[in-house]
């Protein structure tokens, strides 16, 4: 009968494997938390579309803004052009805050919010992450994605033939 030895020396590969696995399990949440902190800094304030108060705004007849809220909510605001030229950044931020307080689920709102002279439309939706992008419903053929950069973001809207990429600049509000 063959004798099997279970000495400490033979179990070392198993214990090394378990140690590495334990370290990996502990390190992954730390890396994720670090990435979320960086993302949180990028999601403060709001983003204004490049071309607001210029020819893109004249064509679409709106200045467009994007704001990220706590608990993975995102808002897109459309303020009618040319009135939008008169609206200050502080007011845009306050309108977003007021609109968000009015809803507890996804919604499309229209109003002056006690701050504007003309009604603005705000769409508030939940967002999630897909790899390095933010994904949310934006009324397109399929969900929109956002790619964050330094002090900017790219909104990628699906189209019938091509994707539409719209750049937004970060506006920090203290």
Q: Are residues 114 and 89 in the same domain?
A: yes
Residue range(s) defining the domain that contains residue 99: 44-171
Residue 69 shares a structural domain with residue 33 = no
Interval 59-98: pLDDT, tens: 999 999 999 999 999 999 999 999 999 999 999 999 999 9
State the pTM of this model: 0.75
In a domain, 130, yes or no: yes
Residues 35, 73 within the same domain: no
How many independent structural domains does the chain possess?
Answer: 2
- Shared domain for 64 and 135, answered yes or no, is yes
Residues 25, 86 within the same domain = no
Residue 135: inside a domain: yes
Statement to judge: residues 37 and 92 lie in one domain: no
Both 83 and 103 in one domain: the answer is: yes
Question: What's the chain's average pLDDT?
Answer: 82
Q: Give a three-class secondary structure readout of the chain.
A: CCCCCCCHHHHHHHHHHHHHHHHHHHHHHHHHHHHHHHHHHHCCCEEEECCCCCHHHHHHCEEEEEEEECCCEEEEEEEECCHHHHCCHHHHHHHHHHHHHHCCCCEEEEECCCCCCCCEEEEEEEEEEECCEEEECCCCCCCEEEEEECCEEEEEECCCCCCEEEEEEEECCC
- Work out the pLDDT band at 14, boundaries 50, 70, 90: low
Do 129 and 154 fall into the same domain?
A: yes
Mean pLDDT of 137-147: 85
1 part of a folded domain:
no
pLDDT, one tens digit per residue, over 29-65 is: 444 443 444 455 556 799 999 989 899 899 999 999 9
């Amino acid at each position: 009968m063959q004798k099997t030895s279970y000495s400490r020396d033979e179990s070392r590969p198993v214990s090394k494997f378990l140690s590495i696995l334990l370290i990996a399990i502990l390190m992954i949440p730390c890396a994720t938390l670090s990435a979320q902190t960086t993302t949180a800094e990028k999601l403060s304030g709001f983003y204004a579309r490049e071309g607001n108060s210029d020819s893109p705004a004249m064509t679409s007849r709106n200045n467009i803004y994007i704001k990220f809220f706590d608990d993975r909510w995102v808002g897109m605001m459309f303020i009618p052009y040319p009135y939008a030229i008169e609206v200050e950044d502080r007011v845009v931020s306050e309108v977003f805050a007021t609109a968000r307080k009015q809803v507890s689920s996804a919604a499309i709102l229209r109003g002056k919010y006690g701050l504007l002279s003309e009604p603005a439309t705000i769409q508030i939706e939940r967002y999630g992450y897909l790899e390095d992008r933010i994904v949310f419903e934006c009324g397109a053929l399929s969900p929109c994605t956002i790619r964050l950069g330094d002090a900017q973001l790219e909104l990628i809207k699906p189209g019938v033939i091509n994707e539409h990429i719209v750049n937004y600049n970060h506006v920090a509000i203290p």
